[in-house]
Structure 1
C-alpha cells in the first residue's frame, strides 16, 4: 500500500487506481466524516476513464492513528491533502470531495487555491460554508420515494429528525433515503460504511474553530477554476436546492443533478455519474443543470 508522511509524521495511505500512469490523477477525499476511502471504490467505473487517487484519512483504513487526537480536526487535516499533492509531484490537482469530504476539499481550496486545477463536489456537506438546508427541502426530496413499501416509517422518522427531535433510532430509520434503491446491496453498503467510520475521530473532526465560513466563501467568490457540483435528485442529506446554492458560491460552477440518485450517485446511476464527471474534466458541457428553488433555509442535519 503506497503511503507518505504527514507534516506531523503520521503515516498516511492512499489508493492509486493507475500507479505509474502519466495522466493527471483525480485526488478523492471520502466523507463520513472520518471514513476510509474504500466505499468510493472505482466511483462507478470512473477509474476506467480517470486515474483515481483515494486518500484514507488519518486514523482510518490503512492510515496510521495520529499521536495527537486534535489533529483529526478538519482544518488541521488540510496539510495532509497538501502533503499528498506534494508526494505525487503535481503542481495543481483535480480534487474531488464527497459528502463530508467536501468540507475538507473546501478548506484546501481556501488555503491553497492555486493548487487546485479543477474541483468536483459530490453531494457535498456544507459545514465549511455554513450553508443550511430548510427541513421542507429534505422532506420534498424524500417524497419522491413515496411509492416505496418502507416510505411511511422512514418519512415519519425524517420528520422527527428535521424537527430536531431525532433519536438514534430515527436517524437509522432514514437510511433508505440516502440511496437511490434500498435493495440488499444498498443495505450491505450502508452497514459496511458504519463499520468503517472512525466515530471517535468524527466527534473531533468538526470541533470548534474547524471552519471559518466567511473566509471560505470569500475565496470561493474569487475562485475562477472549473467547479462541478453533483447532486442526487432524491438525496435528503444534500437536496437539489442546497447543491444549487452551493454552486452559486462560485463565479461559474457547473451544477448537475442525477435523476433518481441519492447521496451515493455513482452506485445509483454509474453510467450517468461517470459521464458527467468525465465530461466536466474534459471541459465539455455538463450533462444536466440544477434550477435552484427559492425559499427559506434552516439548520442542517
Structure 2
C-alpha cells in the first residue's frame, strides 16, 4: 500500500514537471532555431525523456519487475496523451476575416521595403503637408480625424498613415525588423515621396516619440510639431516607467494568460522568428485587439464617454519589438537640445503618463509651448475635441 501511494505521488508530481520541462525545451530550442517544427520536436523529446525517467521512478517505487522496460511504455503513452492534449491547448483559434479596405485607403511602396497604407485629404494652398503619427507602437487610428479635416479645409495636405507592421500596412517576415530606425526611415521616405522639403508632424503618444526621433535624425525637415500626450523622449530616463492606464486587470490578465499567447511571449523573448512561426500576424494582431479594447477606456478621465471602436487592426509584433528596440537606442536628447522647431505640447489633465514627460519636451525644445487640457485623458481629441482642434489649428495658422 505504501509503495503504491509513493508511486502515485511521484507520478502526480513528475508528469507536470515533465510538461514544464518540455516547454522549457521548446524555448531553449527556439534560441537555436526559428524552425517551429524543430522547436516543437525538441519539446516533445524532452517531455518524453523526463516522462520515461518519471515512469522508472514510479515503477521502481512500486516494486515492478523490469521497471525500465515498463517505464518506456509509460513514457510513450504519456507522450502520446500529452501531445494530443497540447494539440488541443495550443491549437490556433479561428481568426476573423480582415475587414474590407475602405475605398479611400491608398498605399505608398517605399524604397525601405515598407508598403504603407494611408489616407489623404485636402491640398492646394499650403507648402508643408501635415502628417499624423499614431501611437502604440502599432495601434493605428482610422481615417482622417476631425482636426485633420479642419486642416484640410484650410488648405493643408493632410496624411494619416499606418506605420509598418500595423493597420493595413506591411507585416514583416522577421519581427526584429521593427525598429525605431525603420520607422524613422519610413517617415523620411514618405517626405521624399511627397516631394516636401519640410513636413508638419502631429504625433500622438508613441507618435510624439517617433516625431522626436525623426527630428533628432533630420532636424531641419520639420516645419512645426505637435506632441500630443507624448511618450518618452528616451525610455531609459524613466527606469520606473511613466505610468499605465487604469484597467480591469482581471479581464486583461485573463486575455493575456491564454496558453498560446504565453508561449508566444516566451518564444519572442529568445527568438522573435520562432514566435512569429508559432503565432501568425493575423492571430497575434487579433489577440492584441482584444486586449486593446479592454484598455481603451482606462486612458480617459472618469466619466468620459466610451472611446470609439474601429476595424483597423493593431500590430502585435510591431508593438512588442519596437518597444524593445526603443529601450535600447542611444539617448536622442543631446541631438534635440536647442532644436528651434516650433512645437506645441499637449497634455490632458487626467493623462496616465507622468506630467514630467511632457514637461521634458518643453525643456528640450526652446520654441515649445506646453498646454494642459482639463477634462482630457490620454486621448485628448476624444474627450475634448473642440479644444484640441482649436489649439492645433491656431498653432498651425489654419
Q: Which moved more, 1:243-252 or 1:226-235?
A: 243-252
TM-score by length of structure 2 reads 0.56
2:138 to 34, 40, 59: 34
1:221 to 304, 312, 337: 337
Partner of 1:57: 163
CA distance in 2, matches of 1:59, 1:85: 19
1:254-273 counterparts in 2 under 5 A? 254-273=369-388
Shift of 1:239: 3.6
1:212 equivalenced with 2:341 (yes/no): no
List per-residue Cα deviations over 1:116-141 (Å, max 9, x = no partner): 11111110111536443978x969xx
Partner of 2:363: 248
Helix, strand or coil for the counterpart of 2:364?
A: coil
Shift of 1:2: 2.9
Structure 2: unaligned runs, 5 residues or longer = 1-104, 257-290
Partner of 1:96: 202
Shift of 1:67: 4.1
List per-residue Cα deviations over 1:22-44 (Å, max 9, x = no partner): 42321111012112231763347
CA distance in 2, matches of 1:169, 1:71: 27
**Is this contact kept in 1: 2:108–2:117, CA < 8 A?**
yes
Change (3 A) 1:196 1:43: farther
1:114 to 201, 215, 220: 220
TM-score by length of structure 1 reads 0.72
**Is this contact kept in 2: 1:7–1:79, CA < 8 A?**
no
Change (3 A) 1:44 1:55: closer
Residue-pair matches, total: 255
Partner of 1:85: 191
CA distance in 2, matches of 1:90, 1:234: 36
Shift of 1:156: 9.3
- Report the aligned-residue RMSD: 3.3
Which is bigger in relative contact order (C-alpha 8 A, separation at least 6)?
1
1:189-204 counterparts in 2 under 5 A? 189=309, 192=310, 196-204=313-321
Change (3 A) 1:233 1:74: same
